[in-house]
Chain A
Amino acid sequence: MIEVSGLSKSFKVAKRNPGIISALKSFVHPQFTTIQAIDDLTFNIKQGEIIGYIGPNGAGKSTTIKIMSGILVPDKGNCKILGYTPWKDRVNYVKNIGVVFGQRSQLFWDVPVMDSYNLLKDIYKIPEKMFEENLDLLVSTLDISQLLDTPVRQLSLGQKMRCEIGASLLHNPKILFLDEPTIGLDAVSKIAVRQFIKTINKEKQVTVILTTHDMQDIEALASRIILIGKGKILLDGNLAKLKNQFNSQKVITIDYSESNEVINIPGVKLISQSKERLMLSVDTSIIKISDCINLLSKKYDLLDLSVDSRPIEEIIVSLYREYQI
C-alpha cells in the first residue's frame, strides 16, 4: 500500500558563528552548508500496520513524514501511496490521509471544537451521513462529547490532542500520520490516546505511521519499528525481533551483607556497586545467567536477587550509540 524507494532529500542551511565579527561577516557574505536530511530510504508498508518511526532529533523523521504527506517534494526516489505519488496529485491524495502534528494545532483557537469540525466537513466534502456516523464514533471512543462546545484555548493539552486526532479522522482517511501525538501529555491522556489509536487501527483498518520519542508509545502500539539515523534506515523489523536481538543483555541486581569482594567474571560488567548493593550487566551469549548467579552466591552472602531484561529505552539508546548517531 505504501511503497517508498530510494527517497533522498537535502537542505541548505545558513551557517552562523558567534561573535560580532562573524555576525558582520555573515551579514556581508552568508555561507551555507548542505544537510542530507534523508538518504536513500526504501521500505514498504502494508495496510493495517502500525509503524513506529523512530530516531533521534534531526534524523529525518519529519522530512519523511512531510514527503509522504505531499508537503515536500524529494530530490530523488519514488513513493507510491494508495496508487498516488503524494507530491504530484495533492488535492486527490490528501483526501485519503489524516495528519496530526503533536506540537501544532489544526483547530481554530478561539472557537468551539465543533465549529472546526463543521468547517472540515465542508473542506473535505464529507457526506452528511458519513459525517454523523464518524462523529458519533469519534465522540464516544475519544470521550469528547463534553468538549465539542468549548473553545480550543480552554482545553487542556490532553483534551486538545483528543480533539485533534478526532479532526484528522473525520474524513475516513486510510492512512494516519501521527507526529509525536503524546508529547507533553499526562499519563492518563497518553493511555487514552494509545487506546484510541489501537481501536481505530483494528476497527477501521487504518494504517498508522507514528513518530515518537516515547518508547511506551512504541511498546503499546507499534507492530513494526523503522529506526532512522542521519537520514538512513538502521533497523526495520518488529518489536519482538528488536528485543530478542538485544536481549542477550540482562541486568542482575543483588543485595548482600557487607563485603568488599571484587568480582571478575567474563561477560559480566559492573553497572554500580555500593556497600550493600550491586548492579551487573550480563551478556548471556558468554555466560549463562544461572552460572553467573552461582558464582555470585559463592562470593557474597546474598540477601536478595533480581534479574531484568533491559528496558526498551536502553535498547534504543544503545542502538543510537552503536550507530553513532
Chain B
Amino acid sequence: MIAYYSLFKIRLLHGFQYRTAALAGALTQFFWGFIYIMVYQAFYNSTSTPQPITLHELIEVLWLQQSFLAFFVLWLRDNEIIDHITKGNIAYELCRPINLYSFWYAKLIAQRLSKGLLRFSPILIIAFLLPYPYNLTLPDNLISFILFIITLILGLIILVAISMLMYISIFYTMNGTGSLLIFSLMGEFFSGMNIPVPLMPHLLKTIVYILPFRYCSDLPFRIYAGNIGNKEALISIIIQITWIIILFSIGKLGMKKALKNIIVQGG
C-alpha cells in the first residue's frame, strides 16, 4: 500500500508543477462553459415549453462539467502506459514487486486528481461571482451537497476503472489509437457531454442509464444542481458501488489474462 501511496504522491506533486498550464486550462474551460451556456440559452429562448431541466440548472451542470473535466473525460490519457504496452517495455514494469493493476490505477487517479484539483477552483470561483442566470449557486440543502461530493468521488473511481479497461484493451488490440477512439467517443456521448442527459430523447436516455458513463459526471452534477432528488441520489450511489465492483473485477481479470499471454509469448 505504501508503494502505491508514494507513487500517488509523486504524481500529485508532478502535476502541481504546471502552474501556467493550470491557469491556461482554467481559462480555456471557462471559455467553453460560456459558449455552451450561450448556445443553450439561445435554444431555450426559442420555446416556452417547459424542459426536463431548467436553464439555470443546466448552466450549473455546465459549469461543474467544465470545472471537473479532468475527473471524467476519457480522452485524457497516459501515453507512458500506452507506450509500455505497445512497445513491449512492459517487462520492466513486471519486474517490480507490485500489482500492475493497482500500480497503474494509483498513477492514473493521481494524475486526474492533481489536474482536477488545480483547475476546479478558479472556474468555480468565477462562476459563483457571475450575475444570474449565468452563475453557480450553492445547492439547496447540505444533504445534496454531501451527496454531490460522495457521488463525485465514486464517479472518479468508476471513471479510472473504465479508463483501465481502455488500457487493458490495448493489450489485445496492440493499437492505442483504436481503443482510445472507441472509449472516448462512447464516454463523451453517453456521459452527456454532447447533449445533456435530460434533454436526450427517451430511448437514448434509457441506454445512457444502463451504461456506467453518466454515473461519473451527469449524476453528481445534477444532484448539485437540484435536478436529481436525494432519494434518487441514494439509489444511484448503490448503482455506482455496483459498477465499481463490476469494473474492478473485469479489469483485474482482463489484466491477468493479458499478462499471462505476454509471459507465454516471452514478452
A and B, direct touch (CB closer than 8 Å): yes
Of A26, A27, A30, most buried by chain B (CB within 10 Å of CB) is A27
- CB of B16 within 8 A of chain A? yes
- CB of A123 within 8 A of chain B? no
- CB of B19 within 8 A of chain A? yes
- Chain A residue numbers with a CB within 8 Å of B17 are 16, 23, 26-27
- CB of B38 within 8 A of chain A? no
Q: How far apart are the CA atoms of A15 and B9 in the complex, in Å?
A: 20
Q: B9-23 CB contact bits vs A (8 Å, 1 = yes)?
A: 100110011010000
| B16 and A23 contacting across the interface, CB-CB below 8 Å | yes
By secondary structure, the B interface counts as helix
Q: Which residue of A lies closest to B19 (CB)?
A: A27
Interface residue range, chain A: under 10
By secondary structure, the A interface counts as helix
Q: How far apart are the CA atoms of A303 and B140 in the complex, in Å?
A: 97
- Chain B residue numbers with a CB within 8 Å of A24 are 16
| A20 and B19 contacting across the interface, CB-CB below 8 Å | no
Q: How far apart are the CA atoms of A263 and B196 in the complex, in Å?
A: 89
Q: How far apart are the CA atoms of A30 and B17 in the complex, in Å?
A: 10
B23 nearest CB across to chain A (Å): 10
Q: B76-113 CB contact bits vs A (8 Å, 1 = yes)?
A: 00000000000000000000000000000000000000
Q: How far apart are the CA atoms of A13 and B118 in the complex, in Å?
A: 23
Interface residue range, chain B: under 10
- Chain B residue numbers with a CB within 8 Å of A23 are 13, 16-17
Of A16, A23, A28, most buried by chain B (CB within 10 Å of CB) is A23
Q: How far apart are the CA atoms of A30 and B9 in the complex, in Å?
A: 21
Q: Which residue of B lies closest to A20 (CB)?
A: B13
Q: How far apart are the CA atoms of A20 and B17 in the complex, in Å?
A: 10
Q: A124-151 CB contact bits vs B (8 Å, 1 = yes)?
A: 0000000000000000000000000000
Q: B185-223 CB contact bits vs A (8 Å, 1 = yes)?
A: 000000000000000000000000000000000000000
- Chain A residue numbers with a CB within 8 Å of B9 are 20
B21 nearest CB across to chain A (Å): 11
Q: Which residue of B lies closest to A16 (CB)?
A: B17
Q: How far apart are the CA atoms of A27 and B122 in the complex, in Å?
A: 14
Q: Which residue of A lies closest to B118 (CB)?
A: A27
- Chain B residue numbers with a CB within 8 Å of A28 are 19
Q: How far apart are the CA atoms of A16 and B17 in the complex, in Å?
A: 9
Q: How far apart are the CA atoms of A125 and B13 in the complex, in Å?
A: 50
Q: How far apart are the CA atoms of A30 and B16 in the complex, in Å?
A: 12
Q: A23-62 CB contact bits vs B (8 Å, 1 = yes)?
A: 1101110100000000000000000000000000000000
| B13 and A30 contacting across the interface, CB-CB below 8 Å | no
Q: Which residue of A lies closest to B15 (CB)?
A: A23
- Chain A residue numbers with a CB within 8 Å of B12 are 20
- Chain B residue numbers with a CB within 8 Å of A26 are 17, 19
A21 nearest CB across to chain B (Å): 10
Q: How far apart are the CA atoms of A23 and B17 in the complex, in Å?
A: 7
Q: B162-183 CB contact bits vs A (8 Å, 1 = yes)?
A: 0000000000000000000000
Q: How far apart are the CA atoms of A26 and B22 in the complex, in Å?
A: 13
Q: How far apart are the CA atoms of A24 and B12 in the complex, in Å?
A: 11
Which residues of chain B in 1-56 are interfacial with respect to chain A, using CB atoms and an 8 Å cutoff?
9, 12-13, 16-17, 19
B31 nearest CB across to chain A (Å): 23
Q: How far apart are the CA atoms of A189 and B17 in the complex, in Å?
A: 42
Q: Which residue of B lies closest to A28 (CB)?
A: B19
Q: How far apart are the CA atoms of A16 and B19 in the complex, in Å?
A: 13
B181 nearest CB across to chain A (Å): 22
- Chain B residue numbers with a CB within 8 Å of A30 are 19
- Chain B residue numbers with a CB within 8 Å of A20 are 9, 12-13, 16
A20 nearest CB across to chain B (Å): 6
Which residues of chain A in 195-240 are interfacial with respect to chain B, using CB atoms and an 8 Å cutoff?
none
Q: Which residue of B lies closest to A30 (CB)?
A: B19
Q: Which residue of B lies closest to A18 (CB)?
A: B13
B126 nearest CB across to chain A (Å): 18
A23 nearest CB across to chain B (Å): 5
A98 nearest CB across to chain B (Å): 32
Q: How far apart are the CA atoms of A16 and B9 in the complex, in Å?
A: 17
A24 nearest CB across to chain B (Å): 6
Q: Which residue of A lies closest to B17 (CB)?
A: A23
Q: How far apart are the CA atoms of A16 and B16 in the complex, in Å?
A: 12
B118 nearest CB across to chain A (Å): 8
- Chain B residue numbers with a CB within 8 Å of A27 are 16-17, 19
A159 nearest CB across to chain B (Å): 21
B8 nearest CB across to chain A (Å): 12
Q: How far apart are the CA atoms of A28 and B12 in the complex, in Å?
A: 16
Q: How far apart are the CA atoms of A256 and B19 in the complex, in Å?
A: 67
A26 nearest CB across to chain B (Å): 8
- Chain A residue numbers with a CB within 8 Å of B19 are 26-28, 30
A109 nearest CB across to chain B (Å): 14
CB-defined A-B contacts under 8 Å, sample of 16: A16-B17, A20-B9, A20-B12, A20-B13, A20-B16, A23-B13, A23-B16, A23-B17, A24-B16, A26-B17, A26-B19, A27-B16, A27-B17, A27-B19, A28-B19, A30-B19
- 14 more CB-based (< 8 A) A-B contacts, given A26-B19, A27-B16: A16-B17, A20-B9, A20-B12, A20-B13, A20-B16, A23-B13, A23-B16, A23-B17, A24-B16, A26-B17, A27-B17, A27-B19, A28-B19, A30-B19
| B interface residue numbers (CB < 8 A to A) | 9, 12-13, 16-17, 19
Closest 7 CB pairs of A and B: A23-B16, A27-B19, A23-B13, A27-B16, A20-B13, A24-B16, A23-B17
